[in-house]
């Protein structure tokens, strides 16, 4: 546990120790289910009596992934999940649920199934695919509702008991309270920020790794504390691109005097979105939330995919940093369009193409970031 | 491709060229609509609706074979699209963005009435959105539900038991999306969809693929392959883009007849054949001569690619009472069948055994990363089955990092040391 007892320290500790609460739950006899992204409805998993945890293994050597997964194709986080599943670290999970909202996750699902089928590894948790599609049409909407019902049925089968409506309602209330706490944290980054991006990411990211009620309490407490702090000077940046489940890029940007006030990704500002409706059909309400409000690389058409970014930029920002690491082969298609949008508004942008995860950014990148931040600070 | 041993190959090439020239005349002179489609789209619906369709991958291959890929890809990178993005599915779009019809193959693609793709990878919706904006035309997307049940020997179920193989929920969604596509095509063409005509066309596709199956069997059983892989591809793909049409069925029959006559006469594509190779992955369109480079020196002949082999197993559907549902079953899992475990590895090993393959070259396309997946499983499965594998890291349409001489030397070493 953290040395300091402050709420922020505790959240940051969980961010750095992502499986701590899941292991604790497992030891206490609560079955744990791993998720691979923001588009898996954790409320249904909770309602089935499981502890849901986002899989975020530490960066380490990947001998199993090297054997089965093609180089330069899968993102580092996907490779690490595969490694920890095949390597045995996730054997304590009752199941892993992946979502169809990214090609990488779908392929991870097929790869893990195949390793299990081949018999290369015994004891791996079973994997399930949640068939959420993110192109927006009446057909995919109807399909998504039926696949959410199917996921509920599968969870009931794993749990060995039906999921009661009351269980779902309670899980939604609990999750919404945690969402409200995240939104309090996010408000501290709006206008004149009182919270740096480097401080904010762990506070937000812990949402995926902890029991929701405990998270809500700690995040609210942390927000109270930061509200009492003073405003932070510096050019306000949005980071857009590959989801960042670490603070290293933010720390670099902020070391040059900028403040990251938002991220267009689910480890940051877009983590929780709006509340799940407590009215009407609960399963449909859960589905609608993940269908309409959760970001993914498969949101289509582009207007829908760009909506959050464009409206957030228009609210006021000094610059945008596009983060497209070498592993990217998807978001780079959007970059010229989004850059043109910024140019029309006169908002400067910078593209970072180095991997900010495993190693430090090069001196060259530092220099270009420094120049960029100085230039936009001068224009403010 | 230099030498053409079969009359069918010459006929297929000539027909395709004339078909495209006619398409251009129809579009420019008669203002007839046409469509550009991703290769795994249900071409059958377009055919029944009387809307000619050009395959994006075919056009990419044509551009690549004309050695124009580097120019267009460089131009695309200069527009801000980074060099790590996919090339195979975007090369045709890059040609449009370059806006240089004078240099584009055969005068270039005229403006289509629509473009359409299945959303398999996460890139294709982006490529087609950019392309549709550049063309000023509409983009129709078919979303792609994931497979959750994958019995390994899918080809034993796909012809008769396709309903259970491809999962009812996936078929239902695909049919629902087909209905929206049909309404769109009715608007574009002013014609009404004819379900009976689709069924007739599907029966025609079955006949065509049955001819291809006979060719496949001839290649499996003849002492030496009667037809080179290059020529198999030309003959098969010219017909596949127009599958079920009278020309396609007749062409498949002619091809079968010609291959059978060669087998009966004891004619081999390369009489000195001592080793049989398989090519796993899309074609190396910028250097198809590569496929014949190992005959003289090593007696190694490419006898297998997915293009012919997939026809019978991937396309034949019996039980066509609901032709849309049958077509959905043909469409919904092509990617899993050809590229993903367990379906791709199980099928390719089975094919390798049936074709008496001595060694396999597996293409991992560096410039088209989603197409690279599943390869390690395929390679492992082949090696386990006793078939040596050489992974080839190259792109199917982009020759910028391709060193032909070095690759020929490397493959030569593989043949001599491992086969």
Binning pLDDT at 50, 70 and 90, where does residue B154 land? Answer: very high
Tell how many helices (H) and how many strands (E) occur in chain B. 18, 8
Chain B residues touching residue A102 (CB < 8 angstroms): 122
Angle between helices A7-16 and A20-27 (to 10 degrees): 80
Distance between CA atoms of residues A130 and A251, nearest Å: 35
Task: Report the b/e string of B350-377 with b at 16+ CB within 10 A.
Answer: bbbeebebbbbbbbbbbbbbbbbbbbbb
| Contact status of B184 with chain A (Cβ, < 8 Å) | no
**Which residues in chain B have Cβ-Cβ distances shorter than 8 Å to A328?**
82, 84
> Is the Cβ–Cβ distance between B109 and B24 less than 8 Å?
no
In chain B, the residue whose alpha carbon lies closest to the alpha carbon of A150 is: B169
Q: Is B79 on the interface with A (CB under 8 A)?
A: yes
What is the pLDDT, as a whole number, of residue A360? Answer: 82
The pLDDT value recorded for residue B1 is 52
Q: Strands, E, within B225-293: which ranges? A: 275-280
A146/chain B closest Cα distance in angstroms? 9
Phi-psi region of A280 (alpha: psi -120 to 50; beta: other; left: phi over 0): left
CB atoms within 10 A of CB B202: 23
* Sign of the CA dihedral with B242 first, then B72, B363, and B297 last: positive
Cross-chain CB nearest to A332 (options B84, B129, B374): B84
8 Å CB contact of A336 and B79: yes
Mutate to test the interface with A, among B363, B376, B378, B392 (most CBs of A within 10 A): B376
Per-residue burial over A343-373, b if 16 or more Cβ lie within 10 Å, else e, is eeeebbbbbbbbbbbeeebeeebeeebbebb
Say how far apart CA B270 and CA A87 lie, in whole Å: 48
Tell if the CB–CB gap between A300 and B141 is shorter than 8 Å. yes
Put simply, the answer to whether A139 touches B126 (Cβ < 8 Å) is no
**Closest CB to A302 among B129, B375, B380:** B129
Chain A residues whose CB is inside 8 A of the B363 CB are none
Chain A residues closer than 8 Å to B150 by CB: 110, 113
Contact B147, B342 (CB under 8 A): no
User: Do the beta carbons of residue A222 and residue A181 sit within 8 Å?
Assistant: no
Counting every residue, how long is chain A?
A: 380
User: Given CB atoms, is B75 within the 8 Å cutoff of chain A?
Assistant: no
Q: For B372, which of A73, A129, A328 is closest by C-beta distance? A: A73
Q: Chain B partners of A128 at a C-beta cutoff of 8 Å?
A: 148
Residue pair B389/B379 in contact by the 8 Å Cβ criterion: yes
Chain A residue at shortest CA distance from B139: A301
A contact test, residue of B77, B79, B94, B121 with most A CBs within 10 A: B121
Task: Name the H helices within A207-351.
Answer: 212-227, 248-255, 282-292, 302-314, 335-345
Q: In angstroms, what separates the C-alpha of B200 from chain A's closest C-alpha?
A: 27
CA A38 – CA A270 distance, rounded (Å): 10
Rounded to the nearest angstrom, the minimum Cα separation between B134 and chain A is: 12
Residues A68-71: contacts with CB under 8 Å, at least 24 apart:
A68/A111, A68/A115, A68/B376, A68/B377, A68/B380, A69/A111, A69/B376, A70/B364, A70/B369, A70/B372, A70/B373, A70/B375, A70/B376
Share the mean pLDDT of chain B.
Answer: 96
Nearest 10 degrees: CA dihedral of A226, A231, A236, A242?
-10
Q: How far apart are CA A73 and CA B113, in angstroms?
A: 34
Q: Which of A330, A336, A338 to mutate to test the interface with B (most CBs of B within 10 A)?
A: A330
Angle between helices B343-354 and B375-384 (to 10 degrees): 40
Asked whether residue B161 carries a pLDDT value surpassing 70, the answer given is yes
B residues 205-264 lying closer than 8 A (beta carbon) to A = none
Give the span between the Cα atoms of A300 and B119, in whole angstroms.
Answer: 10
Q: Which residue has the tokens 């020529």?
A: B231
A138: Cβ–Cβ under 8 A, 6 or more apart, which residues?
none
Helices then strands, counting H and E runs in chain A, come out as 15, 8
Residues 6+ positions from B2 with CB-CB distance below 8 Å: B289, B292
Binning pLDDT at 50, 70 and 90, where does residue B118 land? very high
Contacts of A121 in chain B (CB under 8 A): none
Residues 334..353 of B with a Cβ closer than 8 Å to A: which?
336, 340-342, 345
Output DSSP code: residue B314. I
Residue B366 has pLDDT above 80, yes or no: yes
Angle at B93 between CA B141 and CA A296, to 5 degrees: 45
Query: If you write DSSP's letter for every residue of A17-81 in order, what string do you get?
Result: STTHHHHHHHHTT--EEEE-STTS-HHHHHHTT-EEEE--PPP---HHHHHHS-TTTS-HHHHHH
Dump pLDDT digits (tens) for B299-352: 999 999 999 999 999 999 999 999 999 999 999 999 999 999 999 999 999 999
Give residue-wise pLDDT tens across range B88-116. Answer: 999 999 999 999 888 999 888 999 999 99
What distance in Å separates residue A114's CA from the closest CA in chain B? Answer: 6
Closest chain A residue by Cα to residue B369: A73
Contact B84 A137 (CB under 8 A): no
H helix or E strand, kind and range, residue A95: strand A95-99
Q: Cβ–Cβ of A110/B152 closer than 8 Å?
A: no
| B69 CA: distance to closest CA in chain A (Å) | 18
Strand partners, A99: A130
The helix or strand, by DSSP H or E, that contains position A210, with its residue range, turns out to be: none
Compare all CA atoms of chain A with the CA of B170 and give the residue at the minimum distance.
Answer: A143
Residues of A in contact with B146 (CB under 8 A): 100, 106, 109, 129, 131
Residue of A nearest to B375 (CA): A70
CA closest to B129 among chain A residues: A302
Number of other residues whose CB lies within 10 A of the CB of residue B385 = 15
Check B85 against A69: CB less than 8 A apart. no
* Residue A378 confidence (pLDDT): 86
Burial class for B136, CB neighbours closer than 10 Å (0-12, 13-18, 19+):
exposed
| B372 in A contact zone (CB under 8 Å) | yes
The answer to whether the CB atoms of A103 and B121 lie below 8 A apart is yes
Mark yes or no for CB contact B376/A68 under 8 Å.
yes
CA distance B177 to chain A (A): 7
Per domain, the residue ranges of chain B are 9-194
Of B129, B152, B180, the CB nearest to A139: B180
Which residues of chain B make contact with A68, given a CB cutoff of 8 A? 376-377, 380
pLDDT in tens, chain A (380 residues): 665 789 999 999 999 999 999 999 999 999 999 999 999 999 999 999 999 999 999 889 999 999 999 988 999 999 999 999 999 999 999 999 999 999 999 999 999 999 999 998 889 999 999 999 999 999 999 999 999 999 999 999 999 999 999 999 999 999 999 999 999 999 999 999 999 999 999 999 999 999 999 999 999 999 999 999 899 999 999 999 999 999 999 999 999 999 999 999 999 999 999 999 999 999 999 999 999 999 999 999 999 999 999 999 999 999 999 999 999 999 999 999 999 999 999 999 999 999 998 778 899 999 999 999 999 988 77
CATH 3.40.30.10, applies to B9-194: no
First-to-last alpha carbon distance for chain B, in angstroms, is 26
Under an 8 A CB cutoff, do B340 and A107 touch? Answer: yes
Answer yes or no: are the C-beta atoms of B355 and B276 closer than 8 Å: yes
Q: Compute the count of residue pairs across chains A and B with CB atoms less than 8 Å apart.
A: 127
User: A72: which chain B residues are within 8 Å (Cβ-Cβ)?
Assistant: 366, 369, 372
Give the pLDDT of residue B254. 98
Of A103, A114, A334, the CB nearest to B342: A114
Indicate left, alpha or beta for B266 from its phi (over 0: left) and psi (-120 to 50: alpha): left
Helix pair angle (B69-78, B91-98), 10° resolution: 70
Cβ pair B129:A133 closer than 8 A: no
Q: Are the beta carbons of A329 and B369 separated by less than 8 Å?
A: yes
User: How far is Cα B301 from Cα A13, in angstroms, rounded to an integer?
Assistant: 61
How high is the pLDDT of residue B328? 98
Mind listing the pLDDT tens digit for each residue in B247-284? 999 999 999 999 999 999 999 999 999 999 999 999 99
pLDDT computed for residue A1 by the predictor: 62
CA distance A299 to chain B (A): 9
Provide the pLDDT for residue A3: 59
Identify the residue among A137, A143, A340 best suited for mutation to test binding to B, counting B beta carbons within 10 A and taking the highest: A143
Whether cis (ω within 30° of 0) applies to the bond prior to A301 is: yes
Give the C-alpha separation, B378 to A300, whole Å.
Answer: 32
pLDDT per position as a tens digit, B12-55 = 999 999 999 999 999 988 989 999 999 999 999 999 999 999 99
Interchain CB distance below 8 Å, B370 and A329: yes
* CA-based nearest residue in chain B for residue A300: B125
- Rounded-to-integer distance, Cα A124 and Cα B102, Å: 58
Q: Which pair of structure tokens corresponds to residue B67? A: 């050695």
Expressed in percent and rounded to 5, the helix, strand and coil fractions of chain B are 55, 10, 35
Rg of chain B, C-alpha, whole Å? 21
Whole-angstrom distance, CA of residue B418 vs CA of residue B383: 11
Count of all residues that appear for chain B in the document: 419
Q: Compute the mean pLDDT over every residue in chain A, rounded to the nearest whole number.
A: 96
Q: What is the pLDDT of residues A173-220, one digit of tens each?
A: 999 999 999 999 999 999 999 999 999 999 999 999 999 999 999 999
């Amino acid at each position: 546990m953290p040395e300091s007892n402050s709420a922020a320290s505790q959240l940051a500790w969980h961010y750095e120790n992502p499986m701590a609460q899941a292991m604790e739950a497992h030891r206490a006899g609560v079955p744990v289910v791993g998720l691979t992204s923001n588009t898996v409805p954790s409320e249904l998993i909770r309602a089935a009596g499981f502890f849901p945890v986002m899989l975020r293994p530490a960066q380490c050597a990947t001998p199993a992934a090297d054997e089965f997964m093609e180089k330069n194709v899968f993102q580092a986080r996907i490779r690490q999940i595969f490694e920890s599943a095949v390597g045995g670290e996730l054997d304590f999970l009752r199941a892993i649920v992946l979502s169809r909202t990214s090609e990488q996750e779908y392929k991870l699902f097929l790869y893990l199934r195949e390793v299990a089928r081949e018999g290369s590894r015994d004891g791996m948790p079973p994997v399930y695919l949640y068939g959420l599609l993110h192109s927006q049409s009446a057909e995919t909407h109807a399909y998504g509702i039926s696949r959410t019902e199917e996921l509920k049925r599968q969870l009931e089968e794993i749990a060995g008991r039906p999921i009661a409506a009351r269980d779902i309602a309670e899980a939604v209330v609990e999750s919404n309270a945690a969402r409200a706490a995240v939104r309090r944290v996010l408000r501290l980054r709006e206008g004149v920020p009182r919270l740096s991006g480097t401080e904010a990411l762990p506070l937000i990211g812990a949402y995926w790794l902890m029991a929701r009620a405990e998270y809500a309490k700690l995040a609210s407490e942390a927000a109270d504390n930061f509200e009492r702090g003073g405003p932070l000077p510096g050019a306000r940046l949005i980071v857009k691109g590959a989801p960042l489940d670490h603070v290293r890029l933010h720390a670099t940007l902020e070391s040059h005097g900028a403040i990251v006030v938002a991220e267009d990704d689910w480890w940051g500002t877009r983590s929780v979105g709006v509340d799940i409706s407590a009215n009407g059909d609960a399963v449909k309400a859960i589905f609608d939330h993940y269908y309409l409000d959760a970001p993914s690389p498969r949101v289509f058409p582009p207007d829908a995919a760009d909506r959050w970014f464009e409206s957030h930029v228009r609210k006021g920002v000094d610059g945008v940093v596009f983060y497209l690491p070498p592993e990217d082969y998807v978001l780079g298609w959007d970059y010229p369009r989004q850059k043109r949008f910024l140019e029309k508004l006169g908002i400067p942008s910078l593209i970072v193409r180095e991997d900010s995860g495993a190693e430090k950014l090069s001196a060259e990148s530092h220099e270009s970031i420094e120049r960029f931040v100085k230039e936009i600070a001068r224009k403010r | 491709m230099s030498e053409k041993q079969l009359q069918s190959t010459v006929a297929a090439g000539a027909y395709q060229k004339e078909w495209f020239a006619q398409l251009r005349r129809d579009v420019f002179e008669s203002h007839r609509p046409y469509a550009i489609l991703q290769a795994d789209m249900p071409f059958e619906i377009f055919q029944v609706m009387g809307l000619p369709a050009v395959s994006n991958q075919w056009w990419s291959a044509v551009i690549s074979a004309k050695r124009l890929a580097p120019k267009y890809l460089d131009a695309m990178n200069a527009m801000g699209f980074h060099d790590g993005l996919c090339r195979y599915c975007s090369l045709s779009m890059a040609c449009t963005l370059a806006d240089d019809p004078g240099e584009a193959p055969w005068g270039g693609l005229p403006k289509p009435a629509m473009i359409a793709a299945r959303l398999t990878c996460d890139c294709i919706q982006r490529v087609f959105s950019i392309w549709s904006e550049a063309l000023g035309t509409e983009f129709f997307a078919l979303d792609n539900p994931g497979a959750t049940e994958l019995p390994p020997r899918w080809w034993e179920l796909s012809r008769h038991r396709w309903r259970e193989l491809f999962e009812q929920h996936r078929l239902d969604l695909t049919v629902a999306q087909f209905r929206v596509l049909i309404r769109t095509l009715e608007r574009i063409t002013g014609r009404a969809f004819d379900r009976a005509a689709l069924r007739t066309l599907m029966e025609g596709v079955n006949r065509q693929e049955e001819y291809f199956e006979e060719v496949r069997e001839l290649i499996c059983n003849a002492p030496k392959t009667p037809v080179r892989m290059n020529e198999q591809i030309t003959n098969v793909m010219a017909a596949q883009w127009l599958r079920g049409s009278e020309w396609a069925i007749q062409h498949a029959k002619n091809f079968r007849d010609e291959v059978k006559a060669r087998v009966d006469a004891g004619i081999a594509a390369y009489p000195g054949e001592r080793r049989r190779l398989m090519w796993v992955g899309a074609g190396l369109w910028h250097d198809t001569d590569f496929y014949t480079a190992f005959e003289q020196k090593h007696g190694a002949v490419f006898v297998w690619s997915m293009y012919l082999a997939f026809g019978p197993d991937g396309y034949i559907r019996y039980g066509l009472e609901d032709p849309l549902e049958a077509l959905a079953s043909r469409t919904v899992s092509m990617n899993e069948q050809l590229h993903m475990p367990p379906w791709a590895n199980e099928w390719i090993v089975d094919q390798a055994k049936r074709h008496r393959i001595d060694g396999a070259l597996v293409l991992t396309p560096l410039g088209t990363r989603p197409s690279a997946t599943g390869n390690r499983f395929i390679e492992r499965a082949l090696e386990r089955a006793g078939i040596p594998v050489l992974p080839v890291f190259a792109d199917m349409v982009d020759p910028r990092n391709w060193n032909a001489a070095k690759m020929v030397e490397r493959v030569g070493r593989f043949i001599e040391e491992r086969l």
